[in-house]
């Protein structure tokens, strides 16, 4: 809402500077978003002038050459505007003038010399109109600085959704008056009524009084349709509207001034002179003034005559009974419509107008007559109109004034600010609330002084005490509030610890040299499917997998077909061609773009895309992680399951370094080491990595991580937490990554289920430890984990630790075999082990390895 200061001053005396006024209003909740200093750049180079001669420029379809009387001489100016004629007074920018980004100079064009520029409203900063030159009033003196006549300051307000009453110059003036303790001067519409009474000229039927609580109409005859006077055009322009013709401009002017939207019909085009306000029929059509044919719904309100719709109530009129050049009689509509209905209609039609935006914030039904009278007055004064006597006013249930019983102590109760009854009284009265003291005994509030506050009908937002507290606070000033750190009781713990847990994982991974990224939770199905080496109905399922309480259902492990069928909605048939849109995901019905059409099912596509972006400019490798949620769809109408996850990505060397080991590109074991360090820091001891076939990964270089946790039956079982692996070469290629890439995604909720509730100290044995090395040769295919588990199983309690410290293939180890060397540490908690005991255990282990794996001791 743009309010020119000069206009505002018509209703309230303003002694503050524009900046001070803006501050006063902003502090009271009427935020002034900007001050627009119209004319500040005009200086003495933009002056008033008159066109004395005009000729078409030969060879141009739109340019004219004009001779301009500057008041002190005559110059030539080339102009392309269509709306000028000889005799017009116009704003002239002389060479050297600067208007916004434009600097005026002397130009030579098509054989003419142009020594200046005639200005459109937009070029002058008077609103957005650029359809022609801004024509000045005929009485305008020549050769005067335009700034002396027209400069102004426009206050730009953002009107909040609950204050429809502020969408007008008078509404703002009312607040200014209250805040600066000045009287409000309202215009008093006075005009002579003559001729046949309006009630005999027009009939109004309101069929739906819920959606249209009031409809007031006047008839004005004998109007001249011409251009608006300069002062009115200028105000409309500065307020951001475009002058059209005098009648339409008057309706707009009154809307801006008093806040009541009006509609002017050509009386003679309203068929049977009968206005019927009714709901549209489903599918009924109307062509609005913007030339668009619109299909209506049954919940939309129409203004019609007996032969059909003439306007969408409160939104926009149609050409049917539009005011035109031949119009002489006006049927003036000043009505009140239900906010919700107007808003729903405007949103559904995608048609937001000055009128609809006012109605949807709620307007005072008491305003219609004032608005109609003000417009009638202006039509009489400016358009020579004859106002027919009376108003046709359909107003079946007049609005009741709301009263609130209010205790001044509520202000302190809610804000901590001590106020007197007098202050409350004054503050509310200034805002036109009627305040009446109620005897204390009449109420049970402990003998306290109570006020009966009558709320003005234009303040539909005020419903109860808290609303009045805010009004008082606005008047006294928010800056009067004391600042006191709260005392009060502290609550019991109600945190679920997830905040702390996420930061724990974050800190651990940062400590391991990974950078945290934060990507959009919105993505597209296609972007996620890009992760898969081969896309089909079966492989796409991995995007929907989640750890389940019943073990491995729904989780692809070890490439078993059995685990691939699950109730997650993807047909598990790898032969069928797969369409991205058949991937279940939380779909956004109004996405910003196709790239952001759904919620992510995995963090990995964001990580891969971030690797891709960064790898273009990073010679060193990338080590990234993200903590966030996957959004797994549930049934229709249900909220999705949001699973907290961490995704990790490694690509390339850890650093650019002179140390060869550090300059080495990351490999599978780097990623696994990160995951193991995370497990160690979380004190998760029981876990395993198992080879897995996974469509994102290299078939021989991926694993599922499982942790042991107690199941619902109390027994311990391994539950999958997530997977990790080397990205399939086809996928790596798809993302243009220069190095082999390693990804991991873990479900934090399952991971934390395996974190011990508490740590307990195990006494450190004082007894001697015995170490024995063990080197065995086994088949290449034997997993190291199997050997390790066999050693642990057969070593029993006395075997404290087993650590693999060498893996070797090549001569003299036979082809197809590998040598694994462990160091074993034996120790008892309660006694000193003898060599013999350790040797016996060691021999038992060797025998078991021979038995289970055909292992041979390496000599």
Partner 1 sequence: MIEQLDALLAQLDALQERALRELEAINSSAELEDWDVRYLGRHRGELKNFSTLIPKLGKAERPVIGQKINAVKERLESALEARRQELRDRELREALERERLDVTLPGRAVPAGHMHPISRTILEVARIFTRMGFQVVQGPEVETDYYNFQALNIPADHPARDMQDTFWVVPGQILLRTQTSPMQIRVMQATRPPIRVIVPGKVFRHEAIDASHEAMFHQIEGLLVDEQCTMANLKGSLARFAREMFGEDRRVRFRGSYFPFTEPSAEVDIDCILCKGSGCRLCKYTGWLEVLGSGMVHPRVLREVGYDPRKYRGYAFGMGVERIAMLKYAIGEIRLFSGNDLRFLRQF
Question: In this structure, are residues 302 and 309 in contact, taking their beta carbons and an 8 Å threshold?
Answer: yes
The answer to whether 37 contacts partner 1 (rule: CB under 8 A) is no
Could you tell me the smallest distance in angstroms from the CB atom of residue 559 to partner 1? Answer: 33
Q: Give the pairing of strands 152-157 and 32-38.
A: antiparallel
Could you tell me the smallest distance in angstroms from the CB atom of residue 360 to partner 1? Answer: 5
DSSP H helix total and E strand total for the chain = 24, 40
Which residues, 6 or more positions from 418, have their beta carbon under 8 angstroms from its beta carbon? Answer: 412
Task: List the end-to-end C-alpha distance of the chain, in Å, as a whole number.
Answer: 91
Alpha carbon distance 851, 828 (integer Å) = 27
Could you tell me the smallest distance in angstroms from the CB atom of residue 160 to partner 1? Answer: 4
Interface positions, 505-534, toward partner 1 (CB under 8 A): 506-507, 509-522
Give the one residue of 37, 503, 669, 805 binding partner 1; rule: CB under 8 A: 503
Which residues, 6 or more positions from 263, have their beta carbon under 8 angstroms from its beta carbon? Answer: 251, 303, 311, 317, 332, 333, 335, 355
Q: What DSSP assignment string belongs to 784-853?
A: HHHHHHHHHHHHGGGEEEEEEEEEE-STTSPTTEEEEEEEEEE--SSSPPPHHHHHHHHHHHHHHHHHHH
Residue 583: CB atoms within 10 Å: 23
Could you tell me the smallest distance in angstroms from the CB atom of residue 381 to partner 1? Answer: 35
Q: How many residues does the chain have?
A: 859
Of the pair 90, 301, the CB lying nearest partner 1 is at 301
The answer to whether 206 contacts partner 1 (rule: CB under 8 A) is no
Give the one residue of 591, 700, 729, 756 binding partner 1; rule: CB under 8 A: 591
The sign of the dihedral angle between the CA atoms of 851, 853, 854, 859 is negative
Give the one residue of 136, 537, 586, 608 binding partner 1; rule: CB under 8 A: 586
**Which three-class secondary structure state does DSSP give residue 221?**
strand
Could you tell me the smallest distance in angstroms from the CB atom of residue 182 to partner 1? Answer: 19
Of the pair 19, 272, the CB lying nearest partner 1 is at 19
Q: Which stretch binds partner 1 (CB under 8 A): 421-429, 588-596, 738-746, 845-853?
A: 588-596
The answer to whether 635 contacts partner 1 (rule: CB under 8 A) is no
The answer to whether 108 contacts partner 1 (rule: CB under 8 A) is no
In the shown chain, the binding pattern of residues 154 to 193 toward partner 1, with x for contact by CB under 8 A and - for none, equals ------xxxx------------------------------
Could you tell me the smallest distance in angstroms from the CB atom of residue 338 to partner 1? Answer: 10
Q: Which stretch binds partner 1 (CB under 8 A): 76-84, 606-614, 755-763, 848-856?
A: 606-614
Could you tell me the smallest distance in angstroms from the CB atom of residue 814 to partner 1? Answer: 37
HEC-encoded secondary structure of 826-841 = ECCCCCCCCHHHHHHH
Of the pair 590, 781, the CB lying nearest partner 1 is at 590
Residue 568: CB atoms within 10 Å: 16
Give the one residue of 292, 588, 784, 803 binding partner 1; rule: CB under 8 A: 588
The answer to whether 479 contacts partner 1 (rule: CB under 8 A) is yes
Give the one residue of 59, 396, 446, 491 binding partner 1; rule: CB under 8 A: 491
* 252 Cα distance to chain centroid: 31
Q: Which stretch binds partner 1 (CB under 8 A): 366-374, 480-488, 534-542, 850-858?
A: 480-488
Q: Which of 292, 252, 288, 248 is nearest to 266 (CA)?
A: 248
Of the pair 329, 474, the CB lying nearest partner 1 is at 474
* 772 Cα distance to chain centroid: 66
The answer to whether 135 contacts partner 1 (rule: CB under 8 A) is no
Of the pair 12, 475, the CB lying nearest partner 1 is at 475
Residue 570 backbone dihedrals phi, psi, to 5 degrees: -100, 125
Give 171's Cβ-side CA count (13 Å radius): 28
- The pair of structure tokens assigned to 689 is 């990595």
Site residue total, partner 1 (CB under 8 A): 101
Question: In this structure, are residues 362 and 460 in contact, taking their beta carbons and an 8 Å threshold?
Answer: yes
Phi-psi region of 792 (alpha: psi -120 to 50; beta: other; left: phi over 0): alpha
Q: What is the DSSP letter of 529?
A: H
Of the pair 498, 805, the CB lying nearest partner 1 is at 498
The answer to whether 236 contacts partner 1 (rule: CB under 8 A) is no
Alpha carbon distance 66, 79 (integer Å) = 7
Residue 390: CB atoms within 10 Å: 16
Of the pair 14, 649, the CB lying nearest partner 1 is at 649
Q: Which stretch binds partner 1 (CB under 8 A): 369-377, 492-500, 823-831, 847-855?
A: 492-500
Could you tell me the smallest distance in angstroms from the CB atom of residue 676 to partner 1? Answer: 16
Of the pair 247, 603, the CB lying nearest partner 1 is at 603
Q: Which of 643, 644, 751, 758 is nearest to 707 (CA)?
A: 751
- The pair of structure tokens assigned to 678 is 């995370």
Strand partners, 37: 153
Interface positions, 367-426, toward partner 1 (CB under 8 A): 412-417
The answer to whether 470 contacts partner 1 (rule: CB under 8 A) is yes
Of the pair 101, 487, the CB lying nearest partner 1 is at 487
Of the pair 362, 385, the CB lying nearest partner 1 is at 362
Alpha carbon distance 698, 540 (integer Å) = 16
Could you tell me the smallest distance in angstroms from the CB atom of residue 818 to partner 1? Answer: 30
- The pair of structure tokens assigned to 500 is 């702390």
Interface positions, 307-366, toward partner 1 (CB under 8 A): 339-340, 343-344, 347, 357, 360-361
Of the pair 280, 790, the CB lying nearest partner 1 is at 280
Q: Which stretch binds partner 1 (CB under 8 A): 268-276, 591-599, 676-684, 763-771?
A: 591-599
* Residues 50-69 as b or e (16 or more Cβ within 10 Å = b): bbeebeebeeeeebbbbebb
Q: Which stretch binds partner 1 (CB under 8 A): 306-314, 318-326, 545-553, 654-662?
A: 654-662
Give the one residue of 15, 439, 493, 760 binding partner 1; rule: CB under 8 A: 493
Q: Which stretch binds partner 1 (CB under 8 A): 80-88, 436-444, 655-663, 822-830?
A: 655-663
Residue 460 backbone dihedrals phi, psi, to 5 degrees: -65, -15
Q: What is the DSSP letter of 433?
A: -
Of the pair 306, 591, the CB lying nearest partner 1 is at 591
Give 684's Cβ-side CA count (13 Å radius): 23
Q: What DSSP assignment string belongs to 722-767?
A: EEEEEEPHHHHHHTT-SS-EEEEEEEHHHHHHTS-SS--PPPPP-S
In the shown chain, the binding pattern of residues 661 to 690 toward partner 1, with x for contact by CB under 8 A and - for none, equals -x----------------------------
The answer to whether 610 contacts partner 1 (rule: CB under 8 A) is yes
Alpha carbon distance 242, 234 (integer Å) = 9
Alpha carbon distance 575, 177 (integer Å) = 77
Interface positions, 5-34, toward partner 1 (CB under 8 A): 26-31
The packing angle between helices 498-511 and 668-681, to 10°, is: 140
Residue reference for tokens 């003291």: 437
Q: Which stretch binds partner 1 (CB under 8 A): 321-329, 617-625, 733-741, 836-844?
A: 617-625
Give the one residue of 58, 59, 441, 499 binding partner 1; rule: CB under 8 A: 499
Q: Which stretch binds partner 1 (CB under 8 A): 105-113, 607-615, 742-750, 780-788?
A: 607-615
Could you tell me the smallest distance in angstroms from the CB atom of residue 482 to partner 1? Answer: 4
Q: Which stretch binds partner 1 (CB under 8 A): 144-152, 656-664, 725-733, 795-803?
A: 656-664
Of the pair 388, 623, the CB lying nearest partner 1 is at 623
């Amino acid at each position: 809402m743009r309010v020119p200061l000069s206009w505002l001053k018509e209703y309230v005396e303003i002694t503050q500077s524009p900046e001070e006024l803006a501050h006063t209003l902003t502090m009271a909740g009427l935020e002034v978003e900007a001050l627009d200093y119209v004319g500040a750049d005009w200086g003495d180079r933009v002056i008033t002038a008159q066109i004395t001669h005009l000729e078409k420029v030969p060879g141009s379809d739109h340019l004219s050459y004009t001779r301009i009387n500057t008041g002190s001489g005559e110059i030539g100016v080339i102009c392309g505007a269509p709306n000028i004629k000889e005799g017009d007074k116009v704003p002239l920018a002389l060479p050297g003038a600067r208007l916004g980004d434009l600097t005026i100079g002397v130009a030579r064009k098509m054989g003419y010399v142009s020594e200046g520029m005639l200005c459109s409203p937009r070029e002058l900063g008077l609103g957005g109109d650029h359809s022609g030159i801004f024509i000045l009033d005929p009485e305008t003196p020549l050769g005067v600085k335009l700034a002396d006549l027209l400069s102004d300051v426009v206050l730009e307000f953002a009107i909040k959704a609950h204050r429809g009453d502020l969408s007008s110059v008078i509404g703002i003036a009312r607040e200014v008056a209250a805040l600066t303790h000045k009287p409000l001067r309202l215009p008093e519409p006075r005009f002579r009524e003559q001729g046949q009474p309006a009630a005999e000229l027009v009939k109004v039927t309101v069929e739906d009084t819920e959606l249209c609580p009031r409809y007031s109409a006047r008839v004005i005859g004998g109007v001249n349709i011409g251009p608006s006077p300069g002062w009115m055009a200028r105000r409309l322009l500065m307020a951001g509207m475009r002058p059209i013709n005098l009648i339409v401009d008057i309706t707009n002017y009154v809307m801006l001034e008093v806040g009541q939207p009006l509609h002017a019909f050509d009386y003679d085009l309203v068929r049977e002179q009968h206005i019927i306000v009714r709901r549209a029929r489903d599918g009924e059509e109307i062509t609005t003034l913007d030339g668009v044919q619109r299909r209506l719904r049954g919940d939309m309100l129409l203004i019609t005559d007996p032969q059909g719709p003439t306007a969408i109530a409160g939104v926009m009129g149609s050409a049917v009974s539009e005011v035109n050049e031949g119009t002489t009689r006006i049927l003036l509509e000043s009505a009140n419509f239900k906010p919700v209905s107007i808003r729903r209609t405007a949103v559904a039609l995608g048609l937001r107008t000055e009128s609809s935006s006012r109605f949807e914030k709620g307007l005072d039904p008491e305003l219609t007559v004032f608005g109609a009278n003000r417009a009638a007055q202006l039509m009489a004064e400016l358009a020579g109109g004859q106002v027919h006597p009376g108003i046709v006013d359909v107003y079946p249930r007049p609005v009741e004034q709301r009263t609130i019983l209010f205790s001044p102590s509520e202000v302190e109760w809610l804000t901590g600010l001590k106020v007197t009854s007098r202050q409350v009284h004054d503050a509310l009265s200034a805002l036109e609330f009627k305040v009446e003291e109620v005897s204390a005994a009449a109420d049970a509030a402990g003998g306290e002084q109570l006020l009966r506050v009558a709320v003005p009908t234009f303040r539909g937002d005020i419903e109860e005490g808290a609303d009045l507290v805010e009004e008082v606070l606005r008047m006294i000033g928010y800056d009067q509030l004391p600042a006191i750190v709260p005392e009060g009781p502290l609550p019991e713990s109600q945190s679920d610890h997830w905040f702390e847990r996420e930061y724990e994982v974050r800190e651990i991974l940062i400590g391991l040299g990974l950078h945290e990224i934060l990507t959009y939770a919105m993505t597209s199905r296609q972007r996620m499917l890009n992760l898969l080496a081969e896309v089909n109905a079966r492989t796409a399922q991995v995007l929907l997998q989640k750890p389940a309480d019943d073990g491995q259902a729904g989780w692809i492990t070890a490439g078993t077909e059995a685990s691939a069928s699950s109730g997650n909605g993807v047909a598990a048939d790898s032969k069928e061609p797969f369409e991205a849109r058949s991937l279940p995901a939380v779909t956004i019905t109004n996405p910003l773009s196709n790239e952001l059409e759904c919620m992510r099912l995995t963090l990995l596509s964001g990580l891969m895309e971030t690797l891709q972006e960064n790898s273009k400019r990073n010679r060193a490798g990338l080590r990234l992680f993200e903590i966030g949620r996957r959004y797994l769809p549930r049934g229709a109408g249900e909220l999705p399951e949001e699973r907290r996850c961490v995704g990790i990505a490694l690509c390339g060397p850890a650093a650019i370094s002179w140390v060869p080991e550090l300059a080495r590109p990351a490999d599978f074991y780097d990623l696994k080491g990160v995951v193991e360090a995370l497990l160690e820091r979380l004190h998760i001891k029981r876990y395993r990595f198992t080879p897995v076939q996974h469509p994102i990964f290299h078939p021989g270089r991926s694993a599922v991580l499982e942790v042991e946790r107690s199941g619902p039956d109390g027994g311990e079982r391994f539950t999958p937490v997530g997977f990790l692996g080397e990205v399939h070469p086809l996928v790596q290629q798809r993302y243009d990554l220069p190095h082999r890439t390693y990804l991991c995604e873990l479900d934090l909720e399952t991971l934390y289920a395996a974190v011990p509730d508490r740590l307990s100290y195990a006494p450190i044995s004082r007894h001697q430890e015995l170490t024995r090395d063990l080197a065995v040769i086994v088949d290449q295919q034997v997993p190291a984990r199997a050997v390790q588990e066999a050693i642990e199983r057969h070593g029993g309690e006395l075997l404290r630790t087993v650590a693999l410290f060498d893996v070797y293939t090549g001569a003299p180890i036979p082809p197809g075999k590998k040598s694994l060397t462990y160091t074993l540490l034996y120790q008892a908690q309660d006694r000193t082990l003898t060599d013999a005991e350790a040797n016996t255990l060691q021999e038992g282990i060797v025998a078991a390895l021979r038995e289970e794996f055909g292992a041979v001791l390496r000599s």
